[in-house]
Structure 1
Amino acid sequence: MTFTFRLSLLLLVAAWNFEPASTANILFLSPITSYSHTHFFFYTIKALASRGHTITHWNGLKPREDIRNVTHLHSTGLQKVNSRHDIGFDTNNPLKLWFKHPERMANVCKTCYNDPVFHQLITSREQFDLIVIEAFMNECVLPLVQHFRAPFIYLSGLPPLPWMFESTCSPMSTQEYPVLVTDFTDEMNLFQRTINIVVSTAMIYFRNWFILPRVDVEARHAWINSSEPLPTVKEIENRLSLFITNSQPSLTYHYFKSSTIVDAGGLHLRPPKPLPKDVEAFVNGSADAGFIVLSFGSIVHGSGMPEATRKIFVAAFSRLPQRILWKWEDESGMDDLPANVRLYTWLPPLLDLLAHPKMRLLMTHGGLYSNQETVWSGVPLIGFPVFGDQSNYVSKAEKDGYAIKLDWMTLTEDTLYNSIHEIITNPKYKENVQKLSSLMREQIEMDRPLERAVHAIEHVARHHGAPHLRPASCRLNMLQRESMDVTLLLVLIILALAYLVVFIVRSSASRVLKWTKTDQMKKKTQ
């Protein structure tokens, strides 16, 4: 039986593989999300529901499909928020984004707390065995953990960010794990490691001192239980049972982790489906040249790129023999579109496109899911990082030899054309990605991430939060956990010893000099 066939049957036979001791009533919370991040939730929920668990899901986007045992809670207000994240091609300054984050979080919380679904949940008397929260941008729902008195898990469509290491009482691994807002690799020099430590530490304390207090203010206004004060969201977060993250050893940098982190990267990968007939006809018309896909994902709209940049793409594409599928959200299209290019407001799933035998290259913003899916499918890429963690992923892909990283600020028609020509004509890029694909498929086949995630969730539900998983280091603050206090103490001891040595040497030298002068005086008097 091939791995692809086994994967296609996974959700159908999950209940037969290992029967849970009992079914659980689980609340999933992802009011603030994106189309790509919902992959991680969708397949996890579907697998749990197939095993008999009862799921209630507050979803910020319209559910993909109705699933047995799953109750979807959805509102049109959050649909609008999550469909438009106001991230454009001019928002690639990580400091600017980070300093805007407190205000952004306050607005997000107001939106969530004004949503009818929140009021439905905060007044509910239902008993949940477990709460699962999408980790990024959803700190506002932590008061629901307090309301329902249930253990909770973070589920993240990203690899760990610095604050996630802190929340799981794990070492930050700054010597080899670059913070995602940089383009450092795992081979950092002294200067880069210093920046990595400073940025990682600053992100943690900025979140604790400036972001979470804004959430606390809005949460206290929304809290309806007047007989019980609401703990801070940080105090609630410290009860975290488990953190399931979208990390995969073949693609993401290695890091040390405590028993509260579970790597489940690639759990959304599935067998490809046939392309729609119109798309199939267009790409098949490319003959041996094949086709290229240009897409900036669901958060960044390609139609928002500067006009000068758009013309660079049009000019470069007009020189290519390949056909291009371009995700362009503006239905008015383009007046100067080359004959070999077709615009789509919404493309078929990337996994289906990448699996096509005529697929030659993906041109993308470089998000984590794009990287996972290109490697899984054995297709090289050109990355144009726009914001956040994308530069980190594309730098890693370039280091691994299956990608070229281009900068918006220096992009020219010749740079773009030459990069496309280089990747398509130089076999090393295809060979490198296929080697990595083989490694990734073998790792996932041996230890399937979806089953690992499902087992971890069931384990926490079955053991009432699994407090045995939290290490003793959770009783230490970050500075103690990273042994910074020990390092400081050792530095002080060394400085004290150095001072003592210098003092002794100077004192000895002074005495010797004094004795010498005394002897000389005695000799003169004789």
Structure 2
Amino acid sequence: MAQLSKNTFSVSLWITVMIIFGSLCDGGKILVAPLEGSHWVNMDILIKALHGQGHTVDVIRNTNSWFVKENSTYYNSITIPDSKGMDEEFVEDVLTKKIDYERGKGSWLGGVQLFLDVSKAVYESHKLVCRLITNIFESEDILKALQEKKYDLMLTDPGWGTGIILAHKLKLPMVYNVRWTTPGEGHFDIAPSPMSYIPLTGSGNTDKMSFFQRVINVFYYLLLDFQCSRFNVPQYQALCDKYFDPPVDFYKLLQGADLWLMRVDFVFEFPRPTMPNIIYTGGFQCTPTKPLPHDLEDFMQSSGDHGVIVMSLGSFISVLPDYVSSEIAAAFARLPQKVIWRYTGKKPSTLGNNTLLVDWMPQKDLLGHPKTKLFIAHGGTNGVQEALYHGVPVIGIPFFFDQYDNLIRLQARGGAKIVSLAELGENSLHAAIQEVINEPSYRLNMQKLSYLHRDKPVEPLDSAIFWIEFVMRHKGAAHLRTESYKMPWYSYHSVDVSVTLIAVVLIFIYSMFVTVRYLCIKCCSRKRKTE
């Protein structure tokens, strides 16, 4: 009888818990406007987690989307007709020009031309995004279908403006999965950002800058501001002017997101001012190590005490010019370690027996394997975060965009060494590998960073999901948003207050001067009359 009562109580308790927590996890409808490449890789993880919580997720994609697949078991795709995005040709063209310039095949004029070519490519990518938005707005069927879905939330990556403009049209609360926005690094759009100790993307600076480095920092700020304010943002502003009445300011729409899920934390990022609606979820894509496939596990174990080096240049870069890949392979062939290299190009003639070429690798599980001694990477945010999570030292070969800046952050903390494309060769790469593997400080520093990164009360992915659902439950998070983005620049920087106070002081000084002058004149006049 006592056992029966106990079982009845257990069943009642279980039902009560299911009712309580079931009511907190009612499935919502989420519209997602993602980016391609590595941006999609971590957005995909968020989408899977949201689907696991019972939410319905719809994802907007181009007709030629490189990464966002049309068919999926955990999201519904909305393919916009006659819309194209950047593809492999876009990346390969920029990569070839970058390598040729860095390897000494171009003059300083070539460097200027490279900057113009990259700027043009970025401009064209935003132009394609604007075309996608136009196709949505010009199609009554698509727009009506989106409105009838009655979504609860827009989840988007603000590197492109699709989600920002569409959220305003559909009147949805908006959450960012963010590191970069259309104008640049996300913090600069809403948080105070003193350039005296906060490095600009592309500057190559850390948070400890000399006078000359601070000059460079300001120069990069002005350069990025000019590029975005004159070329990229105006494309989206033109759409706002055309489709919204009354017109709205695109940049204010961008700043007005309810929540910013920032893909870094302050173990990785340099300390800086922040805002209440920025939630740090750095490393949310990282997971504990899973067993490797048998063939890879056998390869890892065959390395003995020397261990294994893992090399991957990310989702965008899987093919290199033959002369570059041959030098890398030759450096690997001289090592006692074994190497797993994700590479889909032509097999280098200098490839050694110790190197395994693969089309795909379980990167996170390889980095967490005890035999892994070193990670050679291009410096993408996902890769460096995974290396940090597992405490594996890094040799970075940055190519473009934010990669050098990401690697600078690890190098400044003693966990990485950068080998530029200009320096990259058989001897330089071999020397760098020997240094990082044989100098214990690299691994010790990365293990310390790993411990700091993991030592937190809530897992980053759980935090991200909680805050997304928080915005859905409360129809936004206006109480966390600062009003600063609605202020004109002269009010934000208190220029109007400063001018007023200076005017008051000047008026007071002038009044005192006039008064003293008047009294002096009166005194002198009386003195003359007396005489």
Match of 1:471 among 439, 461, 482: 482
State the one-letter code of the partner of 1:452.
S
**Equivalent residue runs for 1:282-297 within 5 Å:** 282-297=299-314
Does the CA contact (< 8 Å) of 1:377 and 1:437 recur in 2?
yes
1:178 and 1:75 mapped to 2: Cα distance? 38
Aligned to 2:175: 153
Aligned to 2:413: 400
1:65 and 1:458 mapped to 2: Cα distance? 25
Aligned to 2:49: 47
Aligned to 2:275: 258
Say whether 1:249 aligns with 2:266: yes
Aligned to 2:250: 233
Unpaired stretches in structure 1, ≥5 consecutive residues: 1-12, 501-526
The TM-score with structure 1 as length reference comes to 0.78
State the secondary structure of the residue aligned to 2:24. coil
Deviations 1:462-506 (A, max 9, x none): 22222222213223245643557778999x89xx99xx9xxxxxx
Deviations 1:362-411 (A, max 9, x none): 11111111111111111111001111111111112111111111111123
Question: How far apart are 1:288 and its partner, in Å?
Answer: 1.5
2:325 and 2:420 mapped to 1: Cα distance? 14
Aligned to 2:24: 20
Rate the CA distance shift 1:337–1:22 in 2: closer, same or farther, 3 A: closer
Rate the CA distance shift 1:395–1:15 in 2: closer, same or farther, 3 A: farther
Q: Which segment is superposed worse, 288-297 or 310-319?
A: 310-319
Does the CA contact (< 8 Å) of 2:256 and 2:481 recur in 1?
no
Does the CA contact (< 8 Å) of 2:311 and 2:375 recur in 1?
yes
What RMSD over aligned residues (CA atoms) do the two structures have, in Å? 3.9
**Equivalent residue runs for 1:295-374 within 5 Å:** 295-301=312-318, 303-305=319-321, 307-330=322-345, 332-346=346-360, 348-374=361-387
Say whether 1:29 aligns with 2:45: no
Does the CA contact (< 8 Å) of 2:414 and 2:446 recur in 1?
yes
State the one-letter code of the partner of 2:461.
L
Deviations 1:297-328 (A, max 9, x none): 01223x223x3322321221221111111222
Rate the CA distance shift 1:353–1:233 in 2: closer, same or farther, 3 A: same
State the secondary structure of the residue aligned to 1:409. coil
Match of 2:473 among 451, 459, 462: 462
State the secondary structure of the residue aligned to 1:123. helix
Aligned to 1:389: 402
Question: How far apart are 1:50 and its partner, in Å?
Answer: 2.8
1:345 and 1:477 mapped to 2: Cα distance? 51
Paired residues in the alignment total 474
Q: Which segment is superposed worse, 359-368 or 197-206?
A: 197-206
2:18 and 2:432 mapped to 1: Cα distance? 44
Does the CA contact (< 8 Å) of 1:140 and 1:219 recur in 2?
no
1:78 and 1:352 mapped to 2: Cα distance? 36
Does the CA contact (< 8 Å) of 1:366 and 1:391 recur in 2?
yes
Rate the CA distance shift 1:324–1:115 in 2: closer, same or farther, 3 A: farther
Aligned to 1:449: 460
State the one-letter code of the partner of 2:349.
D
2:269 and 2:169 mapped to 1: Cα distance? 36
Does the CA contact (< 8 Å) of 1:14 and 1:51 recur in 2?
no
Say whether 1:71 aligns with 2:73: no
1:174 and 1:203 mapped to 2: Cα distance? 13
Deviations 1:97-138 (A, max 9, x none): 2354323311343356558998764231321121111121x2
State the secondary structure of the residue aligned to 2:97. coil
Question: How far apart are 1:296 and its partner, in Å?
Answer: 0.7
Rate the CA distance shift 1:208–1:193 in 2: closer, same or farther, 3 A: same
Aligned to 2:4: none
Question: How far apart are 1:21 and its partner, in Å?
Answer: 7.1
Does the CA contact (< 8 Å) of 1:171 and 1:481 recur in 2?
no
Q: Which segment is superposed worse, 83-92 or 307-316?
A: 83-92
Match of 1:431 among 433, 441, 444: 444
Q: Which segment is superposed worse, 264-273 or 46-55?
A: 46-55
1:120 and 1:279 mapped to 2: Cα distance? 49
Does the CA contact (< 8 Å) of 1:363 and 1:383 recur in 2?
yes
Does the CA contact (< 8 Å) of 1:166 and 1:478 recur in 2?
no
Rate the CA distance shift 1:65–1:177 in 2: closer, same or farther, 3 A: farther
Question: How far apart are 1:265 and its partner, in Å?
Answer: 0.9
Does the CA contact (< 8 Å) of 1:182 and 1:391 recur in 2?
no
Aligned to 1:88: 95
Q: Which segment is superposed worse, 241-250 or 41-50?
A: 41-50
Aligned to 2:154: 131
Aligned to 1:144: 166
State the one-letter code of the partner of 1:373.
E
Unpaired stretches in structure 2, ≥5 consecutive residues: 1-16, 103-110, 511-531
1:299 and 1:118 mapped to 2: Cα distance? 32
Aligned to 2:60: 58
Taking every aligned residue pair, what percent have the same amino acid on both sides?
Answer: 26
Does the CA contact (< 8 Å) of 1:375 and 1:433 recur in 2?
yes
2:269 and 2:181 mapped to 1: Cα distance? 8
Does the CA contact (< 8 Å) of 1:47 and 1:454 recur in 2?
yes
Rate the CA distance shift 1:63–1:488 in 2: closer, same or farther, 3 A: farther
Does the CA contact (< 8 Å) of 2:25 and 2:53 recur in 1?
no
Does the CA contact (< 8 Å) of 1:162 and 1:200 recur in 2?
no
1:241 and 1:21 mapped to 2: Cα distance? 20
Question: How far apart are 1:195 and its partner, in Å?
Answer: 3.0
Rate the CA distance shift 1:158–1:40 in 2: closer, same or farther, 3 A: farther
1:415 and 1:356 mapped to 2: Cα distance? 27
Deviations 1:199-243 (A, max 9, x none): 33542453233212223446778x6x9xx6774533543542222
Does the CA contact (< 8 Å) of 1:14 and 1:50 recur in 2?
no
Does the CA contact (< 8 Å) of 1:292 and 1:322 recur in 2?
yes
Rate the CA distance shift 1:413–1:196 in 2: closer, same or farther, 3 A: same
Rate the CA distance shift 1:238–1:375 in 2: closer, same or farther, 3 A: closer
1:159 and 1:426 mapped to 2: Cα distance? 38
Q: Which has the higher contact order (CA 8 A, sep 6+)?
A: 1
1:264 and 1:171 mapped to 2: Cα distance? 20
Rate the CA distance shift 1:447–1:141 in 2: closer, same or farther, 3 A: closer
1:144 and 1:375 mapped to 2: Cα distance? 36
